[in-house]
């Protein structure tokens, strides 16, 4: 039994060390979903239609974008093998690959992952990070430089600015704002950043559905 646990821990460690879903092309997420649907034995006539795919993709990007594609594969492979879940039929989607079914598998995986993470070797490069913004000065410096240039060239809307950069830039006099202005802009950035991200996701999905890419 411990041999399986070690094997799963190794696969988990490698999976979380990869790039997150929200940092990779949408096509990679689609490929993983196709793999999962085949793996669980979902018959072709019951695959989600275009509208259902759009909802499913938005659900995954909004709720599980901080995971990696490799984690999704691992989660469903473990469910199929009976290593997570509360019964032998846990991985059965009953020919209905819905958002609810996807979340059921991922909830069980997250519970397992939380416990398994405690047993991983304690090294700085192995960690779980669910869509957390960069927190080092080097990361913020690079991100601010890239963001500033994109906005200057009118290639990026201000709403996509990482809200966490407001405090960073303020401390380094990159932007001169009063305390009240900073608070107002930060509140607006937090709100608009989330809304704009959602609109961007929906726009990409609509474009891909229109071109029959999934």
Q: What is the dihedral angle through the alpha carbons of 68, 74, 80, 85, rounded to the nearest 10 degrees?
A: -80
Residues of the chain with pLDDT > 90, as a percent, come to: 46
Under the phi-then-psi rule, with left for phi > 0, alpha for psi from -120 to 50, and beta for the rest, what region is 130? beta
Tens digits of per-residue pLDDT, 43-83? Answer: 999 999 999 999 999 999 999 999 999 999 999 999 999 99
| Least confident interval from 43-47, 54-58, 87-91, 101-105 | 87-91
Tens digits of per-residue pLDDT, 135-178? Answer: 444 455 666 676 667 667 665 555 555 555 555 555 555 555 56
Rounded to 5°, angle at Cα 73 from 75 and 56: 90
Question: How far is the first Cα of the chain from the last one, in angstroms, to the nearest whole number?
Answer: 39
Under the phi-then-psi rule, with left for phi > 0, alpha for psi from -120 to 50, and beta for the rest, what region is 54? alpha
**Average pLDDT of span 170-193:** 57
Boundaries of every domain in the chain? 2-117, 137-210
């Amino acid at each position: 039994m411990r041999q399986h646990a070690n094997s799963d821990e190794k696969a988990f460690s490698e999976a979380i060390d990869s790039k997150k879903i929200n940092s990779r092309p949408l096509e990679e997420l689609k490929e993983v979903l196709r793999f999962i649907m085949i793996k669980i034995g979902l018959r072709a006539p019951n695959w989600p239609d275009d509208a259902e795919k759009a909802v499913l993709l938005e659900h995954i990007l909004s709720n599980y974008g901080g995971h990696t594609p490799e984690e999704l594969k691992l989660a469903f492979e473990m469910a199929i093998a009976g290593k997570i879940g509360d019964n032998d039929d846990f991985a059965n989607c009953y020919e209905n690959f819905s958002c609810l079914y996807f979340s059921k598998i991922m909830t069980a995986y997250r519970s397992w992952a939380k416990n398994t993470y405690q047993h991983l070797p304690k090294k700085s490069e192995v960690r779980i990070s669910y869509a957390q913004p960069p927190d080092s000065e080097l990361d913020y410096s690079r991100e601010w430089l890239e963001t500033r240039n994109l906005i200057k060239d009118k290639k990026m809307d201000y709403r996509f600015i990482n809200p966490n950069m407001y405090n960073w830039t303020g401390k380094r006099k990159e932007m001169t704002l009063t305390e009240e202005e900073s608070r107002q802009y930060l509140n607006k950035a937090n709100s608009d950043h989330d809304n704009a991200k959602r609109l961007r996701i929906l726009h990409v999905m609509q474009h891909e559905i229109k071109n029959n890419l999934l």
